[in-house]
Amino acid sequence: MKRRTAPRKKTAVSRNYKAKAKSKKGFSTGKIILYAAAVALAITLVATVYQYRNGFLYYLGFKTDKVAGKLSAEERKIADVRIFEILSRHDTKLVGFDVSEYQDKIDWEVIDKMEGEFPLSFVFIRSTAGNNYVDGRFEENWAAAKKNHFVRGAYHYYRPNENSLEQAELFIKTVKLQKGDFPPVLDIEKLPDGQSMDSLKVGLKRWLKRVERHYKVKPIIYSGESYYKDFLKDEFKGYQFWIANYNFFVENIKDEWLLWQFTEQAEVDGIKGLVDINVFNGNGEDLRAITIKK
C-alpha cells in the first residue's frame, strides 16, 4: 500500500507575494482609470475655454469691477462671457434689445453699445398683451426709440385663452407703424388652458391675418425654440421667426431664424435691471429690406 504524501503547505511568503501582486494589479488598473478620466476632463475644460476664449479673455481683462446687478457674481461672470462670445461671433450682424414696462423708465440717450464695443441698432417694445392690456410705458418708449434713431418694432403678447380678433384689434388700435419700423410681432409662448393646440393655431392665424390685412405686411412670430419646433415651424411656413434660445452651448444664429434672442441676462447702460439681447440675421441692407416701406 502506497503511502500518501501530504499536500505541501503554502508558505507565508508565497501568500504575501500573491496578495501584493493582486493589490498592485488592482491599484494599477484603478490608477489608469483615474488618470484617463482626469485627462478627459482636462481636454474638455481646455476645449471649452478655447471655444469661449474671447469671452474669458474679455472678462479677465476688463470685467473686474462689474456690478453683479440682479445676478450673483458668478452668474454675472458666466453671462458676460457668453454675451461677449456670441457678439464676437456675429460682429457682421446687427444687434438689438427688447423692453417693456418692467424695465421702468429708460434713459434712451445713454444707450449706445453692448460691452462698449457692439452697437445697439434696433429695439422691440411690448405694446399690448391679451385683449385688454396696453403696456404702461409703450407710448413713451415708442416715441423715445424713434427720437434716438433706433429701428423699432412693436410686439403683442398673445394670451391663448382670450379672443384672437379682440387681441388683434387692440394691437392695431395701439400701434401706429411708420416707414422704417419692423413688421408687427406676435409673441406666443404659452400653451392653451382648456383648448386644443389646433384651436390655438386657428386663433394665431386669425390674429396674423387680421394684422397683416391692416398693415399690409406679414407679421413676425416670436417664440422659444422648443415651442417653435413642436407647434409652429410646419404649421406657419412663410412667416419669419424671432427665436429665443439661451442655451450656453448654442453658438450661432440658425439660417432659418430672422432674429435670435440669445440672452435675457444682459446689462445695458441706461436701462434698469436685466435686458434681452437679440442678433438680427443680416446687415443694415438686409434690415432695410424687411422694414415698413411707407
Q: Which residues are catalytic?
A: 98, 189
Nearest to 157 by CA among 204, 91, 95: 204
Residues ≥6 apart with Cβ < 8 Å to 142: 125, 127, 152, 154, 175
Q: Which amino acid is at 218?
A: K
Buried residues in 245-263 as b, exposed as e (16+ CB within 10 A): beeeeeeebeeebbbbbbb
Distance CA 234, CA 122 (A): 28
Distance, in Å, from the CA atom of 216 to the CA atom of 235, rounded to the nearest integer, reads 21
Q: How far lies 278's CA from each of 121, 134, 245, in Å?
A: 10, 23, 10
How far apart are the C-alpha atoms of 148 and 85, rounded to whole Å?
A: 27
Do residues 207 and 164 touch, judged by C-beta distance below 8 A?
A: yes
Nearest to 127 by CA among 145, 111, 113: 145
Query: 144 Cβ partners below 8 Å, 6+ apart?
Result: 106, 108
Contact 159, 130 (CB under 8 A): yes
Q: What does the block give as the cell for 251?
A: 453658438
Strands 113-114 and 275-280: unpaired
